[in-house]
Amino acid sequence: MPPRRASTNTSGVSDMTSSSGRKSCRLADVVTLIGGNGFSECFQGGNSVEIPFFKVSDMNSPGNQRHLCVANNYVDRALARAQGWRLLPPQTVVFAKVGAALLHNRRRLLVQDSLIDNNMMGAVPGNGIDSVWLYWWLQTVDFATLAQVGALPSVNQRDIGRLRIEVPSLEEQRRIAEIMDTIDETIRATERVIAKLQMADVGLRRDLLDGRSGGLRLEDWRHCRIGDFANVQRGASPRPIDNPAWFSDNGPGWIRISDVTAAGDVLLRTRDKLSQAGAARSRRAGPGDVIMSIAATIGVAIVVGMEACYHDGFVRLEHDSSVTPEFLVMLLEHHKEDFLRSGQTGTQANINSNIVAKAEVAVPSLEVQSAIVAAAASARRELRSEQAYVRSLRQMCAGLAHDLFSDRVRTVST
């Protein structure tokens, strides 16, 4: 979400109309803010389908990405009246108000009379306020800037109500909402394409490495253990890890899982770097080496493209010439589920270098390896192109929202 563009400072500010005709006022002047209801467990799980009773978790359910359509709990009107629960009308914008969920800044629209629990709040648009425009305006507010410090972050009705808002004409509101909806639908359509491409990518890689694609014959491949062609060496970490003496601005990279997941096919940069003392207490990897995570997030592999050190949450596979680094990464990812099943229990899942070395795999000729890598790379290029496109759309959406809601860009001639 873009940073919050509205101010909570209302001292010396009264309702006014800007030169562009927009009305500047408090949010509470144009919407009714309503907190949710306590929902005892004894009333949950009912089989009535009359009134949905939404919880924060329902915002994550399939089909509820924008409108809350399906709830995990329903009640009837008689129970709602008896309990004094307050119904919210359709087109109310709802959001989390307590806990880490509020920091995700997710907003949803109701499509029918509904109830929300007391971890949520609703904004009911008043006269002259378009509900979809309000939905998009609330997307520009970062609740982290309003959250009260405590065991759980929370926002209250007073602080939200004091947010300053500039309200254009209803005509312009609807035009802004239409523009934002158009971009949003393009994003969602692209995300659907990405989901299909991801499934196709996983299927293609599985078929290639199982010898079921492109005329490949698995029976012609060499069946062996990873340790037969690679020396598997676990990393090491300087201790205590928070000692600043281990770090430097210009030493070798210090590989973390976040660096690997943020990289493409080759790891070329790390957030942190080690000092000479820190590097002496770790293990080094260089260009062309393959590393794989073995703790917490297991089975994430990558080709290293820089001088770096890796900690004890990774292993380095020093392989011989019978495999290429790119194919080895694919092979390790292909056996990720096997590694997960072999994981040792504890505070977090982990495997050791011996488990990796003993994993049984099938390795084709170098020629076939190159063909497999090329086929997979072609499919992944299309996937990454769509992912880059959706990132650019989100950036455009955030920038345009700022311009439209701050009156820097007008949609209706004055």
| DSSP per-residue string spanning 235-270 | ----SSTT-GGGB-SSS-EEE-HHHHHHS-SEE---
Q: Is the pLDDT of residue 4 over 70?
A: no
User: What 3-state class would DSSP assign to 36?
Assistant: coil
pLDDT tens digit sequence for 136-195: 999 999 999 998 877 789 999 999 999 999 999 999 999 999 999 999 999 999 999 999
List of domains in the chain: 16-167 (3.90.220.20), 169-216+368-414 (1.10.287), 222-363 (3.90.220.20)
Residue 1 or 180, more confident:
180
Q: Specify which residues 34 forms β-bridges with.
A: 122
Q: What angle do CA 201, 183, 96 make, to 5 degrees?
A: 90
Q: Specify which residues 292 forms β-bridges with.
A: 301, 315
Q: What is the pLDDT of residue 7?
A: 31
Q: What is the pLDDT of residue 206?
A: 82
Q: Specify which residues 362 forms β-bridges with.
A: 223
Q: What is the pLDDT of residue 209?
A: 80
Q: What is the pLDDT of residue 48?
A: 74
pLDDT tens digit sequence for 221-268: 889 999 999 999 999 999 998 899 999 988 999 999 999 998 988 999
DSSP 8-state code for residue 23: E
Q: Which DSSP helix (H) or strand (E) runs through 317?
A: strand 314-319
Is it true that the peptide bond before 240 is cis, omega within 30 degrees of 0? yes
Comparing CA positions, the residue from 264, 242, 231 lying closest to residue 254 is 242
Q: Is the pLDDT of residue 16 over 70?
A: no
Q: What is the pLDDT of residue 21?
A: 76
CB hemisphere CA count around 389 (13 angstroms)? 17
DSSP 8-state code for residue 322: T
Q: Is the pLDDT of residue 204 over 60?
A: yes
Residue 347 or 75, more confident:
75
Where in 62-214 does DSSP place strands (E)?
A: 67-68, 74-75, 93-96, 107-110, 115-116, 120-125, 164-167
Angle (deg, nearest 10), helices 170-209 and 325-334: 100
| Residue 352 to residue 45: CA distance in whole angstroms | 44
Residue 41 or 96, more confident:
96
